[in-house]
Amino acid sequence: MGRSGLARTANSFGWSATCSRLAAPALETRKLIFSKPTFIRRRGRMTNAQLGALSRLDPFLMDPAVDAAEVFNRQAPTAMEIGFGMGQALVHFAGCHPEWNCIGVDVYRPGIGSLVLQCEQKNIKNVRIVESDALSVLECLEDNSIELIMVFFPDPWPKKHHHKRRLVTPAFATLASSKLNPGGRLRLATDWLPYAETIVEALQGNPELHGGISDRWPLRPPTKFEERARQLRHCVQDFCYTKVR
């Protein structure tokens, strides 16, 4: 099965099984600690340009089970954005840091088209895309292999009975931290105060991660989620955690 095929195989949870490293025991663990998918596959309105870009997606796709150094054909620090939405933050980061390998993970097809389009228009060569559930993708990665994980405006799932769908949990903290190199960073932002509290609770409890609320990260460009937060007079909060060991 080719790379793109791997990234699109449905597993028994109805999510995408992403890589060959996802053996049965890993899936069993996953089922226990992440009981619900953190997203609903939204179809969204797709522009013709995004649709066209999706037909040129293949060179951007990567199998997360394959070492990033092999995928990018170079040893370089690796950044991963989970839930890149329309791709602005990843494109901005990759453009500012051509010396990094940048991986975007999302399942939102108009956003994937938008990311491909921006990379083409800005001649950005250091971005690869995994169209799959980020938790499965993280599980595929080698431990201690990433310098930076970004999670900006994760879906807030505001209703109490949906909280179990939230991405950032103690289990996420453990998983993300295991994939970071010592000294690697996890950067997040949200405008949803109850989620900010969830983030602090989940990450503060992890002995490998030190940090907390931070100033706005200058490399995080404003997206429509930030614009909407401003309109709603929500306070946008950034977080930065460093893996200390």
Ligand X SMILES: C[S@@+](CC[C@H](N)C(=O)[O-])C[C@H]1O[C@@H](n2cnc3c(N)ncnc32)[C@H](O)[C@@H]1O
Which residues are CB-neighbours of 167 under 8 A, at least 6 positions away?
A: 38, 82, 83, 134, 135, 151, 154, 155
Q: Which residue type sits at 235? A: C
In this chain, which stretch among 4-12, 59-67, 128-136, 168-176 interacts with ligand X, using CB under 6 A?
128-136
Q: Is 39 in the site for ligand X (CB under 6 A)?
A: yes
The smaller minimum CB distance to ligand X, of residues 105 and 180, is found at: 105
Q: Is the dihedral of CA 95, 99, 100, 104 positive or negative?
A: positive
Least distance (Å) between residue 75 CB and ligand X: 26
Q: What is the DSSP letter of 61?
A: B
Least distance (Å) between residue 162 CB and ligand X: 12
Q: What tokens does 243 get?
A: 């893996």
* Candidates 63, 133, 155, 191; catalytic one: 155
Q: What is the DSSP letter of 14?
A: S
The total of other beta-carbon atoms located within 10 Å of residue 139's CB is 23
Q: Which residue type sits at 122? A: K
Identify whether 58 is a catalytic site residue: no
Question: Could you give the CA distance from residue 84 to residue 104 in angstroms, rounded to a whole number?
Answer: 6
Least distance (Å) between residue 155 CB and ligand X: 5
Q: Is 217 in the site for ligand X (CB under 6 A)?
A: no
Contact call for residues 93 and 162 (beta carbons, < 8 A): no
Number of chain residues interacting with ligand X (CB under 6 A): 20
Range 147-206, binding ligand X (CB under 6 A) = 152-155, 167
- Residues 41-80: x/- map of binding to ligand X (CB under 6 A)? ----------------------------------------
In this chain, which stretch among 59-67, 131-139, 194-202, 203-211 interacts with ligand X, using CB under 6 A?
131-139
Contact call for residues 83 and 111 (beta carbons, < 8 A): no
Least distance (Å) between residue 114 CB and ligand X: 10
- Residue 152, CB-side half-sphere exposure with 13 Å CA sphere: 25
Q: Which of 91, 105, 148, 202 binds ligand X (CB under 6 A)?
A: 105
Q: Return residues touching ligand X (CB under 6 A).
A: 38-39, 83-85, 105-108, 111, 133-135, 152-155, 167, 223, 225
Task: Show which residues are catalytic.
Answer: 155
